[in-house]
Amino acid sequence: MKVFDSSAVLAVLFDEPGAALAIRWLEDDDALISSVNQAEVFAKLLDRGLSEADITAIAQQLPLQVVPFSAQQARTAASLRPATRALGLSLGDRCCLALASEQPGAQVVTADRPWVGLAGFDIALIR
């Protein structure tokens, strides 16, 4: 099971370094993304000038299961703040980690190096 951070999805969409590795992991058919991180991806696509219709088409093509953000995930994301604050992790980052914490054995796929070494998480860097 892989839980994707928005940074890894954006690397794929913008053909950034690490995209090939992220694509391989997306093809495993067990990729999840939090609805919060999906919103981050959509916002970046809007920033690049894509239309909502284009974004909808892209979302339908990505082999990601979108998991709605829950009240329990909100509590988990908040509880991660002290451990991740010094690393500069955002609310969206912590939402990704909260989803991963609910998936036994999940690997978190990200392009963000500060995540490496977070206690209790299996972090997979794409670059």
pLDDT single digits (tens) 78-104: 999 999 999 999 999 999 999 999 999
Which two tokens mark 66? 């979108």
59-72 pLDDT, tens per residue? 999 999 999 999 99
Q: Which amino acid is at 95?
A: C
Which two tokens mark 107? 């690997």
How many other C-beta atoms lie within 10 A of the C-beta of residue 7? 25
What band does 117 get if pLDDT is binned at 50, 70 and 90? confident
Instruction: Provide the pLDDT for residue 67.
Output: 98
Asked if residue 16 lies in contact with residue 125, where contact means CB atoms within 8 angstroms, the answer is: no
Residue 29 pLDDT > 90: no
Instruction: Provide the pLDDT for residue 36.
Output: 98
d(CA 74, CA 58): 27
Instruction: Provide the pLDDT for residue 28.
Output: 85
Asked if residue 110 lies in contact with residue 117, where contact means CB atoms within 8 angstroms, the answer is: no
| Strands 107-110 and 65-67, bridge-based pairing | unpaired
Fold of the domain built from segment(s) 2-125: Rossmann fold (3.40.50)
| pTM of the full structure | 0.95
- Given strand 122-125, what is the order of strands in its sheet? 65-67, 31-34, 2-4, 107-110, 122-125
